[in-house]
Amino acid sequence: MEKGAKADEEEETNMAAWLLGVKNLKIQPYHLPPLGPHDVKVRVKALGICGSDVHHFKTMRCANFIVKKPMVIGHECAGIIEEVGTEVKSLVVGDPVALEPGISCGRCRHCKDGRYNLCPGMKFFGSPPTNGSLANKVVHPAHLCYKLPENVSLEEGAMCEPLSVGVHACRRANINPETSILIIGSGPIGLVTLLAARAFGAPRIVITDVDEHRLSIAKMLGADEAVQVSTDVQLVDEEVARIQNAMGCDINVSFDCVGYDRTMTTALNATRAGGKVCLIGLALSQMTVPLTPAAAREIDVIGIFRYRNTYPLCIEFLRTGKIDVKPLITHRFGFSQEEIEQAFETSARGGTAIKVMFNL
């Protein structure tokens, strides 16, 4: 299959990467719905692979979301407006935009409270049964498409999605110039949290990981200290001591970007009384952790699910250079059958791959 769409009569056939079964992705036609008055049609140009995409790819599920029928994969995307609906005033053809993936209902109490990320009727790109956006084109509400400034690339636009998780976490945890923070896990989410925390003014940031290479990236991206830790549960106390030593002052907020018993235990033990632990990494269902001693020090555990109202801020951070996400994009692939398979394999492998990006 060649890259991009096939010219078919006078209309291009829209193609997308469909998840058909476990580890089975196929580029196939993707028929778009008609354009509603408040929708836009976007030619997708950049799309990043997320851990959840890989999880869907490998297991056909992610937490409570189960892929029961073929579904287009992918959700971290940006592109160029091709067509606008009749009521769309804020965007025109040719505008480069970053897409916020989730369409909430606008009627439930969560939406009306402004916590639309918790909407039970949320339709989110690449979360079954909603088709994703690894496609030539998608149709999307205009209000979820954010125009990119001239100095922000389409790849950076696609990076707004993972960056949003970090930004949302920093908001919920109230990161500011007085919060010294610990980040557990130096993968893509740990790194965007690092960048976001710095942008929110965190004065001192210590990051941990089991992998030296990932720690070196974190150091390069501005972590004050990088501490290598193990997966050995016996060593938690010793590691907490090393982390606190590296911080040199009280740890106000810890972000667990991994989400295991061990990482959460480390976070709960390392954080100062009255501080916060933000659980971002969603790995296990049941966790065994020293919750009581932490609660008895009035440490609060803050939950994070995706993000809300973060795109304008992300774009502004990128525009001003307060955040530079470009170093996170380590691998690039085109939109062909062979390349999408390689891309997912690369992302799944981890290692030196942080963000794998498609250029369409």
Partner 1 sequence: MGKGGMSREDGEEENMAAWLVGLNTLKIQPFTLPPLGPHEVRVRMKAVGICGSDVHYLKTLRCAHFVVKEPMVIGHECAGIIEEVGSDVKTLVPGDRVALEPGISCWRCDYCKEGRYNLCPDMKFFATPPVHGSLANQVVHPADLCFKLPDNVSLEEGAMCEPLSVGVHACRRANVGPETNVLVMGAGPIGLVTMLAARAFGAPRIVIVDVDDHRLSVAKDLGADDIIKVSTDMKDIPEEVALIQKAMATAIDVSFDCAGFNKTMSTALDATRSGGKVCLVGMGHNEMTVPLTPAAAREVDVIGIFRYKNTWPLCLEFLRSGKIDVKPLITHRFGFSQKEVEDAFETSARGGNAIKVMFNL
List residues binding partner 1 (CB under 8 A).
63, 109-110, 113, 115, 117-118, 120, 172, 250, 259, 264, 273-274, 279, 282-305
- Quote the least distance from Cβ 283 to partner 1, whole Å: 7
Nearer to partner 1, 242 or 308 (CB): 308
On whether the CB atoms of residues 179 and 339 are closer than 8 A, the answer is no
- Quote the least distance from Cβ 19 to partner 1, whole Å: 22
- Quote the least distance from Cβ 267 to partner 1, whole Å: 11
Long-range contact pairs involving 245-252 (C-beta distance under 8 Å, separation at least 24): 246/206, 247/180, 247/182, 247/204, 247/206, 248/204, 249/180, 249/204, 250/180, 250/275, 251/180, 251/181, 251/182, 251/206, 251/275, 252/178, 252/179, 252/180, 252/181, 252/276
What's the distance, CA 232 to chain centroid? 28
* 188-199 vs 154-172: helix crossing angle, rounded to 10: 70
- Quote the least distance from Cβ 298 to partner 1, whole Å: 4
- Quote the least distance from Cβ 328 to partner 1, whole Å: 24
Nearer to partner 1, 29 or 290 (CB): 290
Residue 171 phi, psi dihedral angles, 5° rounding = -65, -50
Nearer to partner 1, 174 or 320 (CB): 174
- Quote the least distance from Cβ 323 to partner 1, whole Å: 24
Best CA proximity match to 15, nearest among 25, 26, 3, 29: 29
Nearer to partner 1, 62 or 142 (CB): 62
Q: Count of CB atoms within 10 A of residue 59's CB?
A: 12
- Quote the least distance from Cβ 88 to partner 1, whole Å: 31
Count Cβ atoms within 10 A of the Cβ of residue 270 and give its class: 0-12 exposed, 13-18 middle, 19 or more buried: buried
Count Cβ atoms within 10 A of the Cβ of residue 203 and give its class: 0-12 exposed, 13-18 middle, 19 or more buried: middle
Query: What spatial distance separates the first Cα and last Cα of the chain, rounded to whole Å?
Result: 14
- Quote the least distance from Cβ 305 to partner 1, whole Å: 5
Core vs surface per residue 221-256: b (16+ CB within 10 A) or e: bebbbbbebeeeeeebeebbebbbebbeeebbbbbb
Residue the block writes with tokens 């029928």: 69
